[in-house]
Amino acid sequence: MKNYITKRILSSIEVKRGILTNCVNEIQLAVNNCVEALNSGNKILWCGNGGSAADAQHMSAELMGEMKDHSRDPFPSIALSTDTSFITAWANDIGYESIFSRQIKGLGNKNDILIAISTSGNSMNIINGIKEAKIRGIKSIGLTNENGGMMKGLCDIIICIPSIDTQIVQEGHLVVEHILCECIENKLN
């Protein structure tokens, strides 16, 4: 078991080194776009499925609440995975593939930011959300795996974690998401 644990930790470390080598410019670009949107009175929308939905909710809460500065004003941020009444009704009556695009159509405004999280890059409800964002003049920031999936050709900014191992990609997403929120808070204070 110790060998497995050691191997697993080393794999995670290698991917984080890869993030440092391959993703810093994209993270900085994402921060700058979010700060510009928030400074202009816009908001950040988040979407993801499963663990990525949990990340979306977590990071949206960090922006509305705080990372380190307990006295700052909230930054307008909405996790689109949290309205279970809408999601279950819409998915049941119309289809799961449009749960995010429908909310973006109703809540999104030009110059908002959509942060779309998908370990595969191919989740159709995420892809449809990105497409709706484009129609509405909302910039999209995608977090996905090293291949990028369909998200790679759609997002304005794509942050591809250098792995295809779902758990390690999710760990990489969390690191990037925390950095993103911390940098937004630092730049806006």
Domain annotation for the chain: domains and CATH numbers = 2-188 (3.40.50.10490)
Q: pLDDT above 70 covers what percent of the chain?
A: 100
Q: Which residues of 115-142 are buried (b: 16+ CB within 10 A; e: fewer)?
A: bbbbbbbebebbbbbbebbbebebbbbb
Is residue 117 very low, low, confident or very high in pLDDT (cuts 50, 70, 90)? very high
pLDDT higher than threshold 90 for residue 189: no
Residue identified by tokens 């470390």 is: 13
DSSP 8-state code for residue 5 = H
pLDDT higher than threshold 90 for residue 52: yes
pTM for this model (two decimals): 0.96
Q: Share the mean pLDDT of the chain.
A: 96
CA nearest neighbour of 161 among 150, 179, 175, 141: 175
**What is residue 67's predicted lDDT score, i.e. its pLDDT?**
84
Among the listed ranges 1-5, 29-33, 75-79, which one has the minimum average pLDDT value?
Answer: 1-5
**What is residue 128's predicted lDDT score, i.e. its pLDDT?**
98
CA distances from 43 to 73, 113, 139, 141 (A): 13, 6, 11, 13
How many beta carbons lie within 10 A of that of residue 6, not counting itself?
A: 10
CA nearest neighbour of 114 among 32, 181, 40, 44: 44
Question: Which tens digit of pLDDT belongs to each residue from 68-111?
Answer: 878 899 999 999 999 999 999 999 999 999 999 999 999 999 99
Is residue 66 very low, low, confident or very high in pLDDT (cuts 50, 70, 90)? confident
pLDDT higher than threshold 90 for residue 15: yes
> Measured over all CA atoms, what is the biggest interatomic distance in the chain, rounded to whole angstroms?
52
| Mean predicted confidence (pLDDT) in 37-42 | 98
Beta strands in 61-112 (DSSP E): 77-79
